[in-house]
Amino acid sequence: MTAPRQRRNPWAAFGLALALGAGAAAPAASTAANSPLVVNPKTGLALSGYDLVAYFTRQMPTFGRPDIELSFKGSVWRFQNSGNRAAFVAHPEVYMPRFGGYDSVAISRGISVAGHPLFWALIGERLYLFYNREARADFLADPGRIIAVAERKWPEIARSVAR
């Protein structure tokens, strides 16, 4: 875990999870490592160029810089600073968006829909992306249930997603 994540107030994350009713445990890292990713086919950018570590350290979407990039899993990831890139290199399984950046609510409904980097949530120290505000609101209404259903459906959906 990075120093910025260690310095975060552990009770803040616990309180958020408790307030949202999130009872699901974080998924296994090996699942994330084998997941297809939402990537722009024209640019090769993952997460539309947003710095995925910044969701954890700044609690907001932040564009990465073109001069601080990393190629990982066949995609280009951008970071706001070299510290964020180093944190990702050290522990990509911690920062990768769950379900490869596909909308968790759609996955729970049995379909794959690319998530959007501006519609997101951190639950159980994992990043979840959503297609729109409504999907995010549906997720936040019962994240534990949606995560559990999506976890069951994801292996089959992941096999059918074009890579």
- Amino acid of residue 51: D
Question: 3-class SS at 108?
Answer: helix
Higher pLDDT, residue 32 or 99: 99
For residue 27, give the DSSP letter. Answer: P
For residue 41, give the DSSP letter. Answer: T
Q: What is the reported pTM?
A: 0.79
26 — pLDDT class (breaks 50, 70, 90): very low
Average pLDDT, the chain: 83
First to last CA, the chain: 29
Hunting for tokens 């949530």 — which residue is that?
A: 121
CB atoms within 10 A of CB 15: 11
163 — pLDDT class (breaks 50, 70, 90): low
pLDDT value of residue 35: 75
Using a 10 angstrom Cβ sphere, with 0-12 exposed, 13-18 middle and 19 or more buried, the burial of residue 13 is middle
The answer to whether 88 and 98 have CB atoms below 8 angstroms apart is no
Hunting for tokens 């910044």 — which residue is that?
A: 54
146 — pLDDT class (breaks 50, 70, 90): very high
Rg, C-alpha atoms of the chain: 15
- Retrieve residue 123's tokens: 């639950």
pLDDT exceeds 90 at position 12: no
Tens of pLDDT along 107-141?
999 999 999 999 999 999 999 999 999 999 999 99
25 — pLDDT class (breaks 50, 70, 90): very low
161 — pLDDT class (breaks 50, 70, 90): confident
pLDDT exceeds 50 at position 29: no
Q: Which of 102, 116, 114 is nearest to 146 (CA)?
A: 102
For residue 98, give the DSSP letter. Answer: G
Hunting for tokens 């959503």 — which residue is that?
A: 130
